[in-house]
Structure 1
């Protein structure tokens, strides 16, 4: 909100032909600017499934932005990262499909693949990376793995408002000594390579980059079924499993631990669909199409 004047001034002075926003509150502001800068094409890049994420959003924030709840309609185009995201906008806001541009997130980091020797034997190692928010579902992961009757260690990387609740639950489940916490790291690949499974508990995702990066490393993912791009990344028995509920999640973890995963095949499953060489040309084609359609 504090940057509205600066964004306005920049657009007025630089006179761009196209403006792209990639943060929700910025996109809302751009949707208003469209009526001021009528010669500019405004594009928003959506990051999550609005229908679900709204359930986990601060109520004051929702009230504050009530005026802009249909802001998508005012943008010329909306770039969506997943099929569910696109369907949500079309069905919930009655957007024209011509406004929707579906482009998945690219694999934007160069992470080396793990070797087979990095997989643990006696103590199984799990990892979750993500902000400690309610929608990330850390609690249902903890409740599920507490039922495992094998030696394991669980690494949590991230921070956020649910941190205390997460570790209080770990104490309640008598598994705090099995958990390591790293608030932040620049070396995600190293930690992903050290673990047997990446566990995703999310109730909603946009296009989960950490799950994608785990597959790039060669570490399979066990995720709950949720709205968002998870099902476009995870292929059962190829690079992980998707479970419908907590009991199925537990069985998927056991199944994944008993499978002899080939890191190169896990990596290939996502590189063939989401590498920069695949995704970036889609952006180039989109912007080239804008030039031709709008004579810019």
Structure 2
């Protein structure tokens, strides 16, 4: 008796990133690379340059391959990307960050026809300070992607307004995931990281115009009882020196600490009383999910980009106009007077946005693409 054994091969997915800078998109891609079912998919993380704050996270990582193209800027990446894709012929090429997506859409005709192209938008296109040529690339070439993943309904509306020639099923909304186990492992600390005897406010993000720290400082400086509070900001960026100088000008030196980028922000989040998300806009603020995983409620500015899909009830916190200092202080007072049972917030967030749930949504998307 003889048997015919049909040889099966796993589908390959290349996750393409400019680098491993310390942003939300990079963290999402790292989490997905780790979590995706390796019995179904062969996962490769391809970096234009293997650099950035999250490179250390690759140490001892054996679940997926990492490839470094060794390119300093996206504009120089066309030939290395094309050569790599033609050589490896992945089933799916999955990229994120707008300028990289715009480039891939423009050169998509060069890739082998069997390669499915998926772009993950990371922000509100209309709000990001893109060059005119980038917006033109969106309008002309985004139709070339097989799927475009957005994280929120606001992002979907924004994308459709700018790119008007997309197919009815071309955009897929998948919320960002949060890695429950990693946050829980890292959030415990034996050290007191925040001031004692204060109501501790914390914010985490790049020190850029988007994150609205100038508005936060202005509003916080007007608190009637600001000496009862201490604000800690984690992150680095182009406005670091300007924001520090502004804090001094507002006489906030005793009320605020700039701690720079932290490999482990969760220890700070877990010790804080409230997290402040002061952004002018977002795509889908992963850092809000992460702080809720630390059971710290959130006060968020009323910005476009998914915050209303996270803070859907007052249990999670409040959405306000962050520039209204009277309302801001009142909300802080109210939220810090509420005591929730342990793990209330983290359990709710895990159920809605846990990495296992969101990864399955991505796996289903990839499997569907491979049948088309």
Would you say same fold, with TM above 0.5?
Answer: yes
**Cross-structure match for 1:24:** 98
User: 1:26 & 1:65 partners in 2: Cα distance?
Assistant: 10
In terms of mean alpha carbon deviation, does 246-255 or 106-115 score higher? Answer: 106-115
**Cross-structure match for 1:136:** 211
Higher relative contact order (CA 8 A, sep 6+): 1
**Any residues of structure 2 matched to 1:5-24 within 5 Å, and which?**
5-24=79-98
Contact 1:217–1:263 (8 Å) recurs in 2 = no
Shift of 1:263: 4.3
Please say if 1:91 is aligned against 2:168: no
**Cross-structure match for 1:203:** 280
User: 1:72 & 1:27 partners in 2: Cα distance?
Assistant: 8
**Any residues of structure 2 matched to 1:241-252 within 5 Å, and which?**
241-247=318-324, 248-252=327-331
**Any residues of structure 2 matched to 1:61-140 within 5 Å, and which?**
62-70=131-139, 71-94=141-164, 95-108=166-179, 110-112=182-184, 122-140=197-215
User: 1:64 & 1:91 partners in 2: Cα distance?
Assistant: 17
User: 2:84 & 2:196 partners in 1: Cα distance?
Assistant: 56
Please say if 1:235 is aligned against 2:306: no
**Cross-structure match for 1:3:** 77
User: 1:68 & 1:47 partners in 2: Cα distance?
Assistant: 16
Shift of 1:245: 4.9
Which residue of 267, 280, 290 corresponds with 2:369?
290
User: 1:217 & 1:129 partners in 2: Cα distance?
Assistant: 13
User: 2:88 & 2:98 partners in 1: Cα distance?
Assistant: 23
Map Cα deviations across residues 179-215 of structure 1 (whole Å, 9 max, x no partner).
1111121111111111101101001111111111100
Map Cα deviations across residues 5-40 of structure 1 (whole Å, 9 max, x no partner).
111101111222321111222212211232223332
Contact 2:212–2:280 (8 Å) recurs in 1 = yes
User: 1:66 & 1:209 partners in 2: Cα distance?
Assistant: 25
Contact 1:85–1:206 (8 Å) recurs in 2 = yes
**Any residues of structure 2 matched to 1:247-266 within 5 Å, and which?**
247=324, 248-266=327-345
Contact 1:90–1:96 (8 Å) recurs in 2 = no
Shift of 1:76: 1.8
Aligned residues between the structures: 285
Q: What's the TM-score once normalised by structure 2's chain length?
A: 0.72
SS of 1:35's equivalent in the other structure is: helix
Which has a greater percent of helix?
1
**Structure 1: runs of 5 or more not aligned:** none
SS of 1:175's equivalent in the other structure is: coil
Map Cα deviations across residues 259-281 of structure 1 (whole Å, 9 max, x no partner).
22444111122111000121111
Please say if 1:151 is aligned against 2:225: no
User: 1:147 & 1:121 partners in 2: Cα distance?
Assistant: 22
Which residue of 184, 196, 210 corresponds with 2:261?
184
SS of 2:363's equivalent in the other structure is: helix
Shift of 1:67: 4.2
SS of 2:284's equivalent in the other structure is: coil
Please say if 1:49 is aligned against 2:120: no
Which ranges of 4 or more aligned residues in structure 1 deviate by more than 4 Å?
118-121
Q: What's the TM-score once normalised by structure 1's chain length?
A: 0.89
Shift of 1:75: 1.5
